[in-house]
Chain A
């Protein structure tokens, strides 16, 4: 029985290695372009290294990846590695280079946010966000960043009905806690009667 199990593991492993050798020519260039599009602060060499590293790690681990999920698996792997690279660089800059945290002038959008906002209002908004139940808060934050109900449903793995219910909940709670609906947030897909 045990021998049979080992033989099966070896067969799954070699099958996976075979699939991996097919993925490299199929996906490599596409993934490099994918990194370039999604992580504009990384250079093209960085993008190539990120993808190369992902495939090297896959080759080492040969993880069992289900049929049909290759794309999501690879996209997650490269986004994860690219993010880790950016985080490592940011940490390196903070720790090794002895410079003030913010010497360069703020970028225009940050400047705009600063000019149009104030500490008291942000503190009230922050407290209201923090007081929301976890799932309600997540749905609200996605909506605040302009995500549609369908998109929020896909990210949170909730049904669209459940998302609308959470957004309604957020709307009630936020109005109760700060006395007004959050400005600039589109609630038009929520039924008025549910408000």
Chain B
């Protein structure tokens, strides 16, 4: 008699349940991070690997689209051409930034990692920036386990979107980065929204509150 897919799945589940029982304690976060970086000895790595395979609720940990600078244990072949191209792009970007800075008479750029405006214990969390910068480099950490094809960051003032940037990508540091021209951020209070874009309606992932103060 032929063994159906369901027979295989039932047999696999029985085997995996036994293995979960045998493994006992789940691996600690420290062990999983070390495993992802290929730093565990063979026995410890085998134990973490087994937990990731036999405990389905853990399997996705290393598959979620948040690279965490993971270096696989068996390093893939170096792609020297890609590295050279990446290095060349960095040089071009730095040079372009340098000349853009020369052309721009305004103050230097400001950088800010955005934090959500709402969280337990604080009715409103508002970050501050100082007006007068040539541009503002903002980073919005993304923690949605769902992957979107792109992201949109919008600058809202008095309920009206005054500036936005779409087609943004989640970068390897698990954040979406955007540069807002300095002229858009005059002194006042703003809300910044982060949306995930895909086939469906844009999904609001996070809002951030910021205040822009006049320079002293």
Contact = CB atoms under 8 A, between A and B. Distances in A.
Interface of A: 22, 24-31, 33-34, 37-39, 48, 63, 65-66, 68-69, 71-77, 79-80, 82-84, 112-113, 116-118, 120-126, 129-130, 134, 138, 141-142, 144-145, 147, 151, 153-159, 162, 178, 180, 182-185
A183 B76 CA distance: 32
A30 B29 CA distance: 18
Contacts of B50: 138
A72 B36 CA distance: 9
7 contacts: A29-B118, A73-B29, A122-B3, A130-B15, A144-B8, A157-B36, A159-B76
Nearest to B59: A155
Given A73-B33, A113-B10, A141-B16, A80 B26 contact: yes
A154 B62 contact: yes
A155 B145 contact: no
B11 A129 contact: yes
A142 B70 CA distance: 20
Interface-central residue, B73, B119, B122, by most chain A CB under 10 Å: B119
Contacts of B62: 72, 154-155
Q: Which 6 A/B pairs are nearest by Cβ-Cβ distance?
A: A30-B143, A184-B5, A125-B11, A126-B11, A76-B29, A157-B73
Contacts of A153: 72
Contacts of A185: 5, 8
B49 A155 contact: yes
Interface string B165-205: 00000000110000000000000000000000000000000
Size band of the B side of the interface? 35 or more
Contacts of B113: 26
B63 A154 contact: yes
A75 B1 contact: no
A72 B32 contact: yes
A144 B62 CA distance: 18
Nearest to B118: A29
B134 to A, nearest CB: 27
A155 B7 CA distance: 24
Contacts of A27: 141, 143
Given A25-B119, A157-B72, A121 B63 contact: no
